[in-house]
A and B are shown apart, each in its own frame.
Chain A
Amino acid sequence: AQSVTQLGSHVSVSEGALVLLRCNYSSSVPPYLFWYVQYPNQGLQLLLKYTTGATLVKGINGFEAEFKKSETSFHLTKPSAHMSDAAEYFCAVSDPGNTGNQFYFGTGTSLTVIP
Chain B
Amino acid sequence: KAGVTQTPRYLIKTRGQQVTLSCSPISGHRSVSWYQQTPGQGLQFLFEYFSETQRNKGNFPGRFSGRQFSNSRSEMNVSTLELGDSALYLCASNPLPGSNYGYTFGSGTRLTVV
Contact with B along A77-115 (1 / 0, CB 8 A): 000000000000010001110111111111110000000
Residues of B19-62 whose CB lies within 8 A of A: 31, 33, 42-43, 45, 48, 55-56, 58
In the assembled complex, B81 has its CB within 8 A of some CB on chain A: no
A-side interface mostly = loop
* Total A-B pairs, Cβ < 8 A: 65
B-side interface mostly = strand
| Least CB separation from A34: chain B residue | B102
In the complex, the answer to whether B102 meets A43 with C-beta atoms within 8 Å is no
In the complex, the answer to whether B97 meets A101 with C-beta atoms within 8 Å is yes
Q: Give, as a whole number of angstroms, the nearest-CB distance from A87 to chain B.
A: 14
In the complex, the answer to whether B105 meets A44 with C-beta atoms within 8 Å is yes
Q: In the assembly, what is the distance between CA of A94 and CA of B104, in Å?
A: 15
In the complex, the answer to whether A43 meets B42 with C-beta atoms within 8 Å is no
Interface size on A, residues (CB 8 A): 26
**Given A99-B97, A101-B97 in contact, is the A42-B48 Cβ separation under 8 Å?**
no
Q: Give, as a whole number of angstroms, the nearest-CB distance from B113 to chain A.
A: 18
**Given A101-B33, A103-B45, A107-B42 in contact, is the A45-B99 Cβ separation under 8 Å?**
no
| Least CB separation from B55: chain A residue | A100
Q: List 5 A-B contacts (CB under 8 A).
A: A32-B99, A41-B107, A43-B107, A102-B48, A105-B43
- Interface contacts beyond A105-B42, A106-B42: sample of 10 additional A-B pairs, CB < 8 Å, sorted by A: A41-B107, A42-B108, A43-B6, A43-B90, A44-B90, A44-B92, A44-B103, A96-B100, A100-B56, A102-B33
B: residues with CB less than 8 A from A are: 4, 6, 31, 33, 42-43, 45, 48, 55-56, 58, 90, 92, 94, 97-100, 102-108, 110
